[in-house]
Amino acid sequence: MKVGIPKEIKNNENRVGMTPAGVHELVKHGHTVYVQHTAGEGSGFADEQYTKVGAKVLPTIEDVYAQSDMIVKVKEPIEPEYKLIRKGQVVFTYFHFACDRPLTDAMLKSGAICIAYETVQKADHSLPLLAPMSEVAGRMAAQNGAYYLQKTKGGKGKLMAGVPGVKPAKVLVLGGGTVGEAAARIAAGMGADVTITDISIPRLRQLSIELPTNVHTLYSSEHNIKNELHDVDVVIGSVLVPGDKTPKLITRDMLKLMEPGTVLVDVAIDQGGCFETSHPTTHSDPVYTIDGIVHYAVANIPGAVPNTSTTALTNATLSYAVALADKGWKKAVTDDPALAKGVNMVDGKVTFEAVARVWNLPYTPLSEEISK
């Protein structure tokens, strides 16, 4: 199979779809890999590192899309890429269709096979291709919360750890999944007073055992969340419903319960965000203020640490990419039910139920498309 690795063109997105180590594995399996010129530079991988392991470097993004049977990316295609994607081409990347109707319509029109990292799901409900970026985003959410809590950045002017005689900052983490656990662990390591919420009592029990003693667990309800807001300093939103839109846990009216300079970090912005007042921002313009409350809602948080992120992502995606290339997408998803859950669209049809429901589109079971 011919596999293409284009350069990411989203604002300040420095990650790349695959490391040279990953490309080496595909080449070893007999596949041709095309890498766009300078695609890996933002992550610290020069063109020479790719050619050394057998990749062919192409000058433009158009060349990569035109010559490849499968595209392996990081972020969802953006408008300039829509016209480059063709019928029958496999696109393996993060899509987040449930919060982007133009992207949904464009990919349906293209007739491509869209396999979304974020909905690949194992039998134990774990999300193996979302987990590595969730771990990065959760860690960075705590770092960014601390940074924007500084008075010079619009925050309250509090130090996360406090000092002897001065209480530490209070951090509220909404959602006890991979992002939330990582955020709570880093915030706790900084010395903050951390509360993490979830609707699963078994998960809260597990977190209470595994996280440091300055992390407290709280059952997630509107009442309990409201009670935490009057003196909170940083709120980290890390709620996820796989493949679906995120519920709004902090409404516009709830902003007035918080003190001016409180920082909201919405890690769930990729799936629509869990704060009603959130809208996607970029690394070049990451924050805005509403009613005195600082909002950080960068949609590609791990893009700020691309070397770590690209390596972690390739570690997770490579076995699936190799299976798709070795077997073709139909046999690969037939053999692996987890990968099958990643197939969101085939030949202009929505094959992931949550996406169809969000946009009121017809749903086609994947089995019908595989059998063709």
Within this chain, do residues 150 and 280 fall inside the same structural domain, yes or no? Answer: yes
Within this chain, do residues 142 and 288 fall inside the same structural domain, yes or no? Answer: yes
Provide the pLDDT for residue 14: 94
CA 172 to centroid of chain Cα atoms = 20
Residue 57 domain flag: yes
In terms of Cα–Cα distance, which of 19, 95, 10 is closest to 307? 19
Q: Identify whether the C-beta of residue 47 lies closer than 8 Å to the C-beta of residue 57.
A: yes
Provide the pLDDT for residue 215: 98
Spans of the chain below 50 pLDDT:
none
Within this chain, do residues 327 and 231 fall inside the same structural domain, yes or no? Answer: no
Tokens representing 84? 């480059």
**Residue 137 parent element (H or E):** helix 131-148
**What's the CA gap between 329 and 325, in Å, rounded?**
8
Residue 135 domain flag: yes
Q: Model confidence over 136-177: pLDDT tens digits?
A: 999 999 999 999 999 999 999 999 999 999 999 999 999 999
The torsion angles phi and psi of 265, rounded to 5 degrees, stand at -115, 110
Provide the pLDDT for residue 243: 67
CATH of the domain at 71: 3.40.50.720
Helix axes 306-327, 131-148, angle to 10 degrees: 160
pTM, 2 dp: 0.89
Q: Which residues contact 321 (CB under 8 A, 6 or more apart)?
A: 3, 18, 22, 26, 70, 72, 92
Residue 79 domain flag: yes
Within this chain, do residues 294 and 270 fall inside the same structural domain, yes or no? Answer: yes
The domain boundary residue, chosen from 299, 319, 335: 299
Within this chain, do residues 317 and 269 fall inside the same structural domain, yes or no? Answer: no
**What's the CA gap between 215 and 367, in Å, rounded?**
45
Within this chain, do residues 183 and 280 fall inside the same structural domain, yes or no? Answer: yes
The domain boundary residue, chosen from 251, 275, 299: 299
Within this chain, do residues 212 and 255 fall inside the same structural domain, yes or no? Answer: yes
Residue 197 domain flag: yes
Residue 124 domain flag: no
The domain boundary residue, chosen from 273, 299, 325: 299
Within this chain, do residues 139 and 277 fall inside the same structural domain, yes or no? Answer: yes
Q: Identify whether the C-beta of residue 125 lies closer than 8 Å to the C-beta of residue 131.
A: no
Within this chain, do residues 148 and 232 fall inside the same structural domain, yes or no? Answer: yes
**Total domains present in the chain:** 2
Provide the pLDDT for residue 126: 92
Within this chain, do residues 218 and 293 fall inside the same structural domain, yes or no? Answer: yes
Catalytic residues: 96, 270
Domain that holds residue 61: 2-119+305-370
Positive/negative CA dihedral, 267, 273, 278, 281? positive
Within this chain, do residues 146 and 24 fall inside the same structural domain, yes or no? Answer: no
Within this chain, do residues 319 and 198 fall inside the same structural domain, yes or no? Answer: no
